[in-house]
Amino acid sequence: MDMRNVKGVHFWQVDHKIKNIAVVPGNIILSSSQAWQKFQWVRKYFEREPREGYFIWIKKEVDFPLATCINIASPKISQDLTNLLVIEKGIKVKANVVCSAIKNNLCGRHFAQGKLLLKSGSSLEYNHLHQWGQKDFVSPDYEFILEKGAKLLYTYKNLLPPENLKLKTTIQSNENSSSNLSFIINGLNSKIGIEDTLLLLGQNSQGIVRLRLVGRKNSQIKAISKIFAKAPGKGHLDCQGLLINKTAKISLTPELICQNKEARITHEASIGKISEEELNYLRMRGLTEKEAIDLIVSGFLKI
C-alpha cells in the first residue's frame, strides 16, 4: 500500500490524530477508546484503558481487503497504540496493515500492542508492512488467538528498518487451527530484536514459522523463535540469515519445548553469506556488484 495514497484505508491515524474511519456495512470500526466505552466485553482484551489505536469487529464477510494506516509525520512523536481485531465464526478476511514514518529523521517512537481474535472456523490473511526512519524506535507486540479450526496467514515485512526494533509475536493455536508466519527483515544501521512464540495448545493444531533476515552495514539482529507443544500438534521453524557486510551480526536461537509425546516439532536454522561464485556469475552478465547483491538479496527475501 502506498502511504501517500490513503484511498480505501478504513482506519487512518497520523501522529495522535485520527484522519479517517470508514463505514463498512455490517461491521464495526472504532477507535480503541470508543470501543472501551461502548462494549464492556472488549475490556478483557485490553490491559488498561486505551489511549489510541483501533478496534475492528468483523461480523459480516467483505469482498475487499480491510486496510489500516498508522503514520508518524512530526518530530519526536511517541505513539502508544492498543489495537483489537475480532473476526466472528466462519468469516474469511484479508487485512493490509501499514505503519510508517513519513520522513526519515523524525526520531519518532511507535509502541503498538495488538490482540487478534480468530473465532472458530474463521480465516485471516494479515499483511503487516513497516517502513521507518533511521532514528526511530519501534516496538510492536502482537498476540493472535486462534479458536477451533481457525486459519492464519501472517506476513511481517520491514525493508526500511528503524534504528531500534523490538518485535514480539505470540500465537495461541487451539484445536485444529493452523498458522503460517513469515518475518522478512532487512537490517541496516539498526539494532533488531525478534521474539516469536507458537503455542500448540489444542489437538491437531499446527504452525510454520519462517524468518528471512538480512544483515547489512552496522546492523545487529537477534532472533529467538520458540515452539511450545502442550498438545498433539505439529510445528516447524525455518530460520535463515544472510550477512552482507562485515560490520553486521545475526544471532538465531530456535527453541523447541515439547510437553506431549504425540507432538512433532522440528527446526532448521542457517546463517551464511553471498557466495563469490554467484556474485561473479551475475557480474559477468553486466551487473554491477551492488546490482548483483541487491538481486540476490531480493531473491533471498522471497518466501
Determine how β-strand 54-58 pairs with β-strand 28-31: antiparallel
Grid coordinates representing 53 are: 489505536
With 0-12 CB in 10 A as exposed, 13-18 as middle and 19+ as buried, what is 30?
Answer: buried
Burial profile 98-110: b = 16 or more Cβ within 10 angstroms, e = fewer: bbbbbeeebbbbb
What is the per-residue pLDDT across 255-271, written as a single tens digit (0 to 9) for each?
Answer: 999 999 999 999 999 99
Nearest CA among 230, 221, 231, 207 for reference residue 253: 221
| pLDDT class of 6 with cuts at 50, 70, 90 | low
| pLDDT class of 8 with cuts at 50, 70, 90 | confident
The neighbour count for residue 76, using CB atoms within 10 Å, is 10
48 pLDDT more than 60: yes
Distance CA(222)–CA(250), nearest Å, equals 6
Distance CA(89)–CA(91), nearest Å, equals 6
| pLDDT class of 5 with cuts at 50, 70, 90 | very low
- The model's pTM: 0.93
Q: What are phi and psi of 203, to 5 degrees?
A: -60, 135
Q: Are 94 and 85 in contact, with CB atoms under 8 Å apart?
A: no
- Taking residues 50-55, report their average pLDDT: 97
202 pLDDT more than 90: yes
4 pLDDT more than 90: no
Grid coordinates representing 242 are: 544472510
161 pLDDT more than 90: yes
| pLDDT class of 280 with cuts at 50, 70, 90 | confident
Give the N- to C-terminal CA distance of the chain in Å, as an integer: 19
3-state secondary structure of 156: strand
Residues 6+ apart with CB under 8 A from 91: 58, 59, 60, 61, 122, 123
pLDDT exceeding 90 applies to what percent of the chain? Answer: 86
Determine how β-strand 151-160 pairs with β-strand 123-131: parallel
pLDDT, position 84: 98
